[in-house]
Amino acid sequence: MLDMGRSTATTPAGELTLPYARLTIHHQDSETGQVYFCHPDFAGTWLVTGTSEILMEPAIQERTALKRQIRDYKMILPDGGASSRPGSLGLTLKWCAVLAGFVVIVTLGIMALLGAAIAFITPSMEAVLGETAVKDYLSDYPVVSPGRADWVREIQKKISSSIPDNPYQYQIYFIEEDTPNAMAFPGGHIVVTTGLIELIGEDEDLMAGVMAHETAHVIHRHGLRQIVNQAGPAMAVQLFIGDSSGLIGAITRGSILFSNLSYSRAMELEADASAIQYLRTAEFDPTGLKAFLIRIQALFQDSGPVPTFLSTHPATETRIEKLNER
């Protein structure tokens, strides 16, 4: 019997009580699992247990001196030191594994729910939502009509016309902003800065590369996916039951995020791959997108903060490598 202050064993001569104070572990039989205890006040007397499970008892584990001996002598504990009692490390790890599995299942379920919910948003509905978002965004910038606005629109029209079953009508907006950038909003709304036009100059293939990339973001609904994902599963449930009233608010609240929108690497590579196809079909030089990335990367390589175009279009080196392969 073990309690907080002593150990008691029943012997033919009666009960023998050994105080924990100065109690030591003399030996452990690795084959039988027996553990031998002794005490200096009881010379020649040994307390032998039939199993090493005694070492996992709280009364033993809570005694600092005994626990240190178990560690120093490298005692072999049952199940590697994991007890079958509730609350033990082994049971805790099992529950952690179960919980982790549950979290993974729930996460995958939510992602599937959000992905399916997007299918309930028609292209016409997406165009209205995108218009709400882009107008909110443009309210912070001077909207202009640069000299090459029609030139950019013609390039975009040629690209979008070459895409089979394209459900979107594209609207291009120009803002007075020195930082070269282009952003695609849901439903075919694209914002182009004057800084981008100045950087590209009159190189039609470079401009086509940029517009093809932004067009691909629209076709693959990347912006819409980002906003719906941020809105969460509640929005997905609303869409499933046919209530899209909350989506306009979510789009409007999220429109400011487009100034710092960061697509995933997978989205960027997907947009690049589709852009190459669009450029070939529209009879533009498909190397235009790669040439633009190289130009803008070299321009800002040694100066100041990373421009918006690069911060919102990550993994530029990887993209250039992939474009080289294609």
Per residue of the chain (326 residues), what is the pLDDT tens digit? Answer: 555 455 665 555 566 676 767 777 776 766 666 777 777 777 777 677 766 777 777 777 666 677 777 766 666 666 555 444 444 555 566 666 666 665 555 444 545 555 566 777 788 888 888 888 888 888 889 999 999 999 999 999 999 999 999 999 999 999 999 988 898 988 999 999 999 999 999 999 999 999 999 999 999 998 888 777 666 555 555 555 555 555 555 554 544 444 445 677 788 889 999 999 999 999 999 999 889 888 877 776 755 555 544 444 545 666 776 776 76
Question: Based on the domain organization, do 154 and 62 belong to the same domain?
Answer: no
- Quick one: which of 172, 174, 82, 76 has its CA closest to 131? 172
81, 99, 130 - which closes a domain: 81
Question: Based on the domain organization, do 219 and 303 belong to the same domain?
Answer: yes
Domain presence at residue 47: yes
Question: Based on the domain organization, do 58 and 135 belong to the same domain?
Answer: no
Question: Based on the domain organization, do 125 and 231 belong to the same domain?
Answer: yes
CA distances from 174 to 21, 45, 235, 302 (A): 84, 95, 32, 28
CB contact at 8 A, 237 and 290: no
Domain presence at residue 108: no
Question: Based on the domain organization, do 46 and 123 belong to the same domain?
Answer: no
Question: Based on the domain organization, do 156 and 46 belong to the same domain?
Answer: no
Provide the number of structural domains found in the chain.
2
Domain presence at residue 94: no
CA distances from 226 to 15, 110, 266 (A): 74, 14, 13
> What local confidence, expressed as pLDDT, does residue 149 receive?
95
Question: Based on the domain organization, do 66 and 140 belong to the same domain?
Answer: no
CA distances from 76 to 63, 161, 203 (A): 18, 75, 75
Enumerate the β-bridge partners of residue 14: 11
Question: Based on the domain organization, do 161 and 300 belong to the same domain?
Answer: yes
Question: Based on the domain organization, do 127 and 212 belong to the same domain?
Answer: yes
Domain presence at residue 44: yes
Domain presence at residue 312: yes
> What local confidence, expressed as pLDDT, does residue 207 receive?
96
CA distances from 14 to 3, 10, 38 (A): 18, 6, 18
Please give the residue range of the domain that contains residue 23: 6-81
- 165 burial (CB, 10 Å; 0-12 / 13-18 / 19+) is exposed
Domain presence at residue 184: yes
Domain presence at residue 57: yes
Helix (H) or strand (E) holding 116: helix 89-118
Find the distance separating the first CA and the last CA of the chain, reported in whole Å: 76
> What local confidence, expressed as pLDDT, does residue 55 receive?
74
- Edge to edge, the sheet with strand 35-38 lists 24-28, 35-38, 47-49
Question: Based on the domain organization, do 67 and 131 belong to the same domain?
Answer: no
81, 99, 134 - which closes a domain: 81
Report the amino acid identity of residue 128. V
Give the CA radius of gyration of the chain.
35
CA atoms within 13 A on the CB side of 177: 21
> What local confidence, expressed as pLDDT, does residue 163 receive?
94
Domain presence at residue 71: yes
Question: Based on the domain organization, do 172 and 233 belong to the same domain?
Answer: yes
Question: Based on the domain organization, do 63 and 159 belong to the same domain?
Answer: no
